[in-house]
Amino acid sequence: MRSYLFVPGDSERKLSKSLSCGADCLLIDLEDSVSLAQKDAARALTSDFITQQRMNHQPGGPKFVVRVNALTTGLTDDDLSAVISARPDGILLPKSEHGSDVQQLSALMAVHEAEADIAEGSTQIHAIITETARGTLNAATYAGVSDRLKTMSWGGEDLSADIGVETNRDEAGQYTDVFRYARTVTLLGAAAAGVEAVDTVYVDFRNTQGLQRECREAVRDGFSGKMAIHPAQVAIINTAFTPSVEAIDRANRIVELFAAAGDNAGVLSLDGQMIDQPHLKQAHRILSRAGKSDGG
Ligand code: COA
Ligand code: MG
Determine whether the shortest distance from the Cβ of 47 to ligand 1 is under 6 A.
no
> What is the distance in A from the centroid of ligand 2 to the CA of 256?
45
CA distances from 8 to 33, 258, 286 (A): 6, 48, 32
Residue 294: what pLDDT? 40
In this predicted structure, what is the pLDDT of residue 292? 57
Tell the residue nearest (CA) to atom 40 of ligand 1: 229
Closest by Cα among 47, 16, 54, 53 to 30 = 47
Say what the pLDDT of residue 291 is.
79
Under DSSP, the state recorded for 244 is P
Q: pLDDT averaged over the chain?
A: 95
The residue contributing the CA closest to ligand 1 atom 8 is 230
CA distances from 14 to 4, 26, 63, 203 (A): 14, 11, 16, 17
**Number of the ligand closest to the Cα of 200:** 1
Ligand 1 pocket mutation, candidates 158, 205, 206, 230, criterion most atoms within 8 A of CB:
230
Distances from the Cα of 107 to the Cα of 10, 68, 146, angstroms: 26, 15, 10
The residue nearest atom 4 of ligand 1, judged by CA position, is 14
CB within 8 A of 52, min separation 6: which ones? Answer: none
Q: Could you give the CA distance from residue 264 to residue 79 in angstroms, rounded to a whole number? A: 54
Any atom of ligand 1 within 6 Å of the Cβ of 227? no
Are the beta carbons of 240 and 215 closer than 8 angstroms?
yes
Helix, strand, or coil here: 72? Answer: helix
User: What's the count of helices (H) and strands (E) in the chain, helices before strands?
Assistant: 11, 10
Give the pTM.
Answer: 0.94
What is the number of the ligand 1 atom nearest to the C-alpha of 31?
46
Tell me how far apart the alpha carbons of residues 42 and 22 are, in angstroms, rounded to a whole number: 23
Residues that place a CB less than 5 A from ion ligand 2: 32, 158
253 C-beta neighbours (distance < 10 Å), count: 14
pLDDT at residue 295, as a whole number? 37
Which amino acid residue places its CA nearest to atom 24 of ligand 1?
A: 230
pLDDT of residue 233: 98
pLDDT of amino acid 296: 35
Substitution site in 7, 14, 206 for ligand 1 pocket (most atoms within 8 Å of beta carbon): 14
Sign of CA dihedral 92, 191, 199, 73: positive
Q: Which residues of the chain have pLDDT under 70?
A: 292-296
